[in-house]
Amino acid sequence: MDLVNDFGKPFGVHVTLDVLGLDKKDWERIAAWHGGVAEFITSVALTDERRRHCLDCAEQLEAYLVPVIEQRRRHPGDDLISRLCTAEFDGIAMSNRDVTALIINVLVAATEPADKTLALLFKHLVDHPEQMAQVRRDPDLLTAAIAETLRCTPPVQLIPRQAEKDIVVAGTTVPAGAVVFCMIGAANRDPDAFTAPDTFDIHRPDLGTARSFTAAAQHLAFGTGLHQCVGAAFARAEIETVAAMLLPLFDQVRHTPGSRYQETGLYTRGPASLLLDFTPVTPAMPVAPVRRDVGRD
């Protein structure tokens, strides 16, 4: 199977649509529109043709969402869109445009890292069979494997920030208003922060697995401090849950012979595909129990 295109991408979209309360029968259309929006947000440069395509995707996605938002205002449910539609601050509710922008933000933030992290997790474990065997024997190691995946190959490679005022960094003046690209991928491989930073090691003592999904994380895959991603706990629960379900079902999992591994993207980065061969677990083979406390500290 192709873990990225056959499973990871549809999985990420389906989970997000569940949270938002959108109809999953429309997932392919929403995924296509979302893909254009994500390309616009995460691209450093776009041709005029690609820019027009991305803006067209945004317009079609907004046209799809507005009737849903208006319906949820009249008949709210327990989904996230309903909560956004009914939320007020000092008696002021968000406009349809505000809610649309937040929905699109959730779609991009929840789906882009999910399929990439899942695929990268399996790639690292397949490339390190001894660590794969350890995780299969001890599901409690899965959190450490995900945290090390995020450190070693963060799905978000850079974060842009705008300088508020002139500042000198390493002898270079960054003028006020300039955009600075903070390279998370490089920071997570800093030899001053991590021993043997280019080595994938789920037993790494300098990672601090227990806090890897909090604002105090040693790695920067979710940002840090006040700028830590609010979806970190959701991402942990999402990836832990599905990985804990898949690992016991894949016996002798390995790269498909002759397959060519390639990563794509600059802002967000991950495998274009991940072709895997495996022996499906049969009913006669024991299946490790899925932890019921995944996502909790």
pLDDT tens, residue by residue, 236-260: 888 999 999 999 999 999 999 999 9
Instruction: Report d(CA 226, CA 217) in Å as an integer.
Output: 12
Q: What is the pTM of this model?
A: 0.85
Instruction: Report d(CA 164, CA 198) in Å as an integer.
Output: 34
DSSP 7: I
Query: 296 pLDDT exceeds 50?
Result: no
**CATH class for domain 3-280?**
mainly alpha
Q: Which residues pair with 255 in a beta bridge?
A: 276
**Average pLDDT across the chain, whole number:** 90
Answer for the pair 54, 40: CB distance below 8 angstroms, yes or no: yes
Average pLDDT over residues 274-284: 85
- Domain borders along the chain are 3-280
Answer for the pair 17, 27: CB distance below 8 angstroms, yes or no: yes
**Is 264 exposed, middle or buried (CB count within 10 Å of its CB: 0-12, 13-18, 19+)?**
exposed
Average pLDDT over residues 4-16: 92
Query: 271 pLDDT exceeds 60?
Result: yes
Predicted local distance difference test score (pLDDT) of residue 295: 44
Predicted local distance difference test score (pLDDT) of residue 292: 44
Query: 195 pLDDT exceeds 60?
Result: yes
Within 43-95, where are the H helices?
Answer: 48-74, 80-86
DSSP 287: -
Predicted local distance difference test score (pLDDT) of residue 297: 40
Say which residue, 108 or 7, is predicted with more confidence: 7
